[in-house]
Amino acid sequence: IQTDALARIAAAADPAALEALRVEFLGKQGTITALLKTLGQMGPEERLEKAPAIQALREGVAGALADRKAALDAAALEARLASETLDLTLPAPDSPRGTVHPVSQVMDELAEIFADLGFAVATGPEIEDDWYNFTALNMPESHPARAMHDTFYFPDAAPKGGKMLLRTHTSPVQIRSMMAHGAPLRIIAPGRVYRSDSDATHTPMFHQIEGLVIDRDIHLGHLKWTLETFLKAFFEKEDIVLRLRPSYFPFTEPSVEVDVGFAIENGKRVLGGSGDAPGHGWMELLGSGMVNRKVIEMSGLDPDEWQGFAFGVGVDRLAMLKYGMDDLRAFFDGDVRWLAHYGFSA
Ligand code: PHE
């Protein structure tokens, strides 16, 4: 029995075959179990004589079963490890990646362009004091120009009189910069501004970038050259033509509205060329002017010594023009499909 059992156990190919052999030899009805039972019917002498061989057979078979089981388990583990090996050189599955919002990208680009022209970046609070937003910009309490700004007011009184408000433009940063740093000065101030207004081209929150140069002997020519240089760099186009129109802002004198010439290509406005050329037109782009003497004075500087120019541009509008987007409201919906459509997602 022993030789036959050990040979068959060694040949068992899988755990099921091995279990069948265990039952055949050592189970309740097993052949070796039957042999063990015969011991009970023997007389003491016969039992003493035969018991050791039968016990040895049982132990030998049990040991062989255990060894074979260990060998099968080890082989199964080997196989599983081999099949589950991770290939770390395989490319990882693609997952959607975030992207810098077009408005932030444009503000970064503008900061870079103006850095090359020697402008530093200045900031101011979005919750602003009435005095910086209006009064110091030559818009006293009763000034009609205040009505042009649909202002969000807070109920709290402002330290300098009037009320606290959400700044309606980035121009208060002009005042804050002059008061903090004096002259000469060359800054841009990008940031959020707020007006109570909403349609396809107006959102209650939008972005402006303010520019301010204060120095000696500054004139309108400096303003025009600066705007031309920055627009050519921003739109990556030499053929940008500007038209300066007289306008009115309380904080600049004279005030100049700047238009840019465009052509229509495939139903879209494309900047470039004179707006007076056939099939072309002029688009209003920004407000600017020479800083009003009163503003320089209220900021603590001597207007006989220091002059300057200032301008304010809508950043969202620049982004729309550069990337051919047509609804301003989509900028603030946070829809990643819209970003992807304009090439802004990975
Ligand atoms: N602050 C003005 C506006 O928001 C723009 C402007 C800035 C005009 C600087 C002149 C000088 O409309």
- Distance from the Cα of residue 322 to its chain's centroid: 20
pLDDT at residue 203 is higher than 80: yes
- Interval 116-127 mean pLDDT: 97
198 pLDDT band, cuts 50/70/90, is confident
CA of 281 to the centre of ligand 1 (A): 23
74-82: list long-range contacts, CB under 8 Å, 24+ apart.
Answer: none
- Distance from the Cα of residue 34 to its chain's centroid: 78
345 pLDDT band, cuts 50/70/90, is low
Work out the burial of residue 83: count CB atoms within 10 Å of its CB; fewer than 13 is exposed, 13-18 middle, 19 or more buried: exposed
Measured between its terminal Cα atoms, the distance across the chain in Å is 73
Q: pTM for this structure? A: 0.72
CA-CA distance, 325 to 338, in Å (whole number)? 10
Tokens of 267: 């139903």
Cis peptide before 254 (omega within 30 of 0): yes
Choose which residue among 249, 286, 318 to substitute to test ligand 1 binding: the one with the highest number of ligand atoms within 8 A of its C-beta: 249
CA of 318 to the centre of ligand 1 (A): 15
Q: Give yes or no for residue 261 CB within 6 A of ligand 1.
A: no
Least confident of 67-76, 170-179, 290-299, 320-329: 320-329
pLDDT of residue 3: 87
Choose which residue among 143, 148, 169 to substitute to test ligand 1 binding: the one with the highest number of ligand atoms within 8 A of its C-beta: 169
Quick one: angle between helices 102-116 and 315-323, nearest 10?
A: 100
Q: Give yes or no for residue 289 CB within 6 A of ligand 1.
A: yes
Ligand 1: atom nearest CA of 169 is 4
- Interval 181-198 mean pLDDT: 94
pLDDT of residue 184: 97
Q: What percent of the chain has pLDDT over 90?
A: 62
- Interval 294-320 mean pLDDT: 95
Ligand 1: atom nearest CA of 211 is 9
Average pLDDT of the chain to the nearest whole number: 91
Quick one: angle between helices 15-26 and 44-83, nearest 10?
A: 170
Q: What percent of the chain has pLDDT over 70?
A: 99
Which alpha helices (DSSP H) does 84-142 contain, by range?
102-116, 130-133
Q: Which of the listed ranges 82-86, 100-104, 247-251 does the model predict with the highest average pLDDT?
A: 247-251
- CB-based contacts of 225: which residues, under 8 Å, 6+ apart? none
Between 252 and 144, the higher pLDDT residue: 252
Quick one: angle between helices 2-11 and 44-83, nearest 10?
A: 10
Which alpha helices (DSSP H) does 236-314 contain, by range?
293-298
Distances (CA, A) of 178 to 123, 170, 241, 262: 12, 14, 31, 36
Least confident of 148-157, 211-220, 222-231, 239-248: 148-157
Cis peptide before 140 (omega within 30 of 0): no
pLDDT at residue 231 is higher than 60: yes
CA of 208 to the centre of ligand 1 (A): 9
Tens digit of each residue's pLDDT (9 = 90 or more) over 33-78: 998 889 888 888 888 898 899 999 999 999 999 999 999 999 989 8
- In the block, which residue shows the tokens 């103006």? 114
223 pLDDT band, cuts 50/70/90, is very high
pLDDT of residue 273: 93
340 pLDDT band, cuts 50/70/90, is confident
DSSP 3-state percent helix, strand, coil across the chain (nearest 5)? 45, 25, 30
pLDDT at residue 158 is higher than 90: no
Q: Give yes or no for residue 249 CB within 6 A of ligand 1.
A: yes
264 and 278 in contact (C-beta within 8 Å)? no
308 and 215 in contact (C-beta within 8 Å)? yes
> Among 183, 169, 186, 187, which Cα is nearest to 132's?
169
pLDDT of residue 261: 94
pLDDT at residue 199 is higher than 60: yes
Q: Which of the listed ranges 51-60, 97-106, 186-195 does the model predict with the highest average pLDDT?
A: 186-195
DSSP codes joined into one string, 127-149: EEEHHHHTGGGT--TT-GGGGGS
pLDDT of residue 346: 52
- Interval 78-94 mean pLDDT: 84
What's the complex ipTM? 0.98
pLDDT of residue 293: 97
CA of 312 to the centre of ligand 1 (A): 4
pLDDT at residue 94 is higher than 90: no
Closest Cα to atom 10, ligand 1: which residue?
A: 288
Tokens of 252: 């600049």
User: b vs e for 163-181, b when ≥16 Cβ sit within 10 Å of the residue's Cβ?
Assistant: ebbbbbbbbbbbbbbbeee
pLDDT at residue 167 is higher than 60: yes
